[in-house]
Amino acid sequence: MAREFARVGVVGLGTMGAGIVEVFARGGIEVVAVEVDEASATHGRETLEASTQRAVDRSKLATDDREALLGRVRISTNLDDLADVDLVVEAVPERLELKAEVFAALSKVCGPETIFASNTSSLSITELSVRTERPHQVVGMHFFNPAPVQALVEVVRTVVTDPEVLSDVTGLAVQLGKSPVVCGDRAGFIANNLLFTYLNQAVGMFESHYAGREDLDAAMRYGCGYPMGPLALMDLIGLDTAYEILDTMYRQSRNQRHAPAPILKQMITAGLLGRKSGRGFYTYAAPGSPEVVADSLTPPPPGQEGGDQRSVQRVGVVGTGTMATGIAEVFAKSGYDVVVRARTEAKGEGVVAGIRKSLEKAVVKGKLSESARDETLARVRPTTTFDDLTDCDLVVEAVAEDLEVKQAVFGALDDVVKQGAILATTTSSLPVVECAAATQRPDDVVGMHFFNPASVMKLVEIVSPITTAPDVTSTVRAVTAKIGKHPVLCGDRAGFIVNALLFPYLNDATAMLEANYATADDIDSAMKNGCGLPMGPFALLDVVGLDVSLAIERSLYMEFRVPGFAPAPLLEHLVTAGRLGRKTGQGFRDYQKK
């Protein structure tokens, strides 16, 4: 039978400790909370009272229930008061020796059946367990901040943790209304291990001037649906906290991708810690304020960069697939005359039909008037010849993702399109400079990577190889904003921003599963519930397609030659076996065939 926890203890009443106390007390469990002195105990009580009062004010907790909750909590400054508890959760500051001292003292005070848990986010549970006389009864119980709100709890096992202890603690987390995941004892556990590796890579992109802070953050918000961009999230977490987590991960793993980006140490030394200090990657209205204010790094709005820009009135689109159709629709809806070059008349008419179908849906939903639909369709003209693109000011290539095919298109465009026109490719993975090299006007060639579906997705990555003229980049940035998209600027290297940050994270998750560190369900749950991501990594891989993901990961590895970017063998094996994700009915999970 599952163990009953009638009384639990919490050591440490900081923000996290007080939140954990509230979680247990909300669950109807008596709590004995211990602090180091009366002042700290008083502060902990005030934190608990303020948190529960906010819940009452927001109608999340009844006044009577609040009083009952507070009545279940006893605050002490004496560890001896924990003698008869069933479980103790340690939530003192993140220092190994301090936590070890607490566990050693608890081992002498508590009864032989008491389970010990640490709320550490990165330190070794094994190292803490050996400081006790009962290492088989020690687990990690990592709550996320704020503990009363966040659903995720990482339950961390060591090589000697008793399976019954693990089961009992996991069951308790469920009883408390949490979503527990079980993992092994590795620095960062699941969520932080995957999250901070990604954040560190984004910081490296910023440090190398590959992309600006606003563009990095916007790319992940609009391209992946993340609730915050990586640099804004680093500011929220605190750069000093992030550095310590990364440093701890690196010391355990010796993985170069966990080594904190050098700029972090520089910023910490300068006192730029993020929101709490008023400055980090961004500047804030005041210390602790979430309001970002303009500073010397804030870029001008699109179209206001200064310098010359080119006039764009007529747009050409080469291609007839889903992406080309969406791009043509976006430009036509924004008032541009659009010429779509197709290989056959039937394919050209197919593009018009696809746009009409999309516009009809918008009309039915009340998002577009019938007159606006007709005006948009009137702006689209299909053709089967490149000669009809002669007078276009901007031509967007959206053919198959094959370099030879794209180079042939750019060679044909170079022969017919007027001088001064901008030639753009919407490639998601090929080098833009290779397309530019197929022309006699490489300074007029730029990447304009729309996301699928182009009519819906807001992000456009503007990719400028070393050959692109500054006025071309500036013009395309302004045009992108005019068509209602969010432009982000980056250099010409594999993955651009989004894929270069997303797919190493997906690969890390795959390697974690392959090592039997945690299950696919637990890894997905950790990233959804702990980090607020719209999908877990394996659910996303199955949607993208494992073959597509493998191709992107291979291109990233060949470009950067970083060992951690080499595709996990598990992914390669699944692709070889034909398990490509939802499109084949089997990937990391099995799906019902329609």
Residues carrying an active site annotation: 121, 142, 154, 192
- C-beta separation of 509 from 538 below 8 A: yes
N-to-C CA span, the chain: 41
Taking the mean position of all CA atoms in its chain, how far away is CA 374? 39
CA-CA-CA-CA torsion sign (301, 483, 425, 362) = positive
| Residue 385 CB burial class (10 angstroms; 0-12, 13-18, ≥19) | exposed
Sign of torsion over alpha carbons 79, 80, 82, 88: positive
Cβ-contact 109, 136 below 8 angstroms: no
| The three-state (H, E, C) secondary structure of 495-509, written as one string | CCCHHHHHHHHHHHH
| Helix, strand and coil in the chain, % to nearest 5 | 50, 15, 35
Return d(Cα 498, Cα 577) in angstroms, integer.
Answer: 28
549: nearest Cα among 528, 565, 531: 565
3-state DSSP call for residue 317? Answer: strand
**Residues in contact with 71: Cβ distance below 8 Å, sequence separation at least 6, in sequence order:** none
Transcribe 72-85 into DSSP letters.
Answer: TEEEES-GGGGTT-
Whole-number Cα distances in Å, 152 to 180, 293, 519, 522: 6, 33, 15, 10
Amino acid letter for position 107: S
Do the beta carbons of residue 199 and residue 242 sit within 8 Å? yes
Residue 439 neighbours by CB under 8 Å, 6+ apart: 410, 411, 413, 414, 423, 445
Contact 169, 153 (CB under 8 A): no
- Kind of pairing, strands 459-464 and 445-450? antiparallel
Q: In three state form, how does the secondary structure of 225-255 look?
A: CCCCCHHHHHHHHCHHHHHHHHHHHHHHHCC
Residue indicated by tokens 């390697």: 511
- Cα R_g (the chain), whole angstroms: 28
Whole-number Å distance between alpha carbons of 199 and 234: 7
One-letter identity of residue 138: V
Half-sphere exposure of 448 (CA within 13 A, CB side): 29
What are the strands of the beta sheet with 7-11, ordered from one edge?
73-76, 30-34, 7-11, 87-90, 115-118, 138-143, 152-156, 179-183
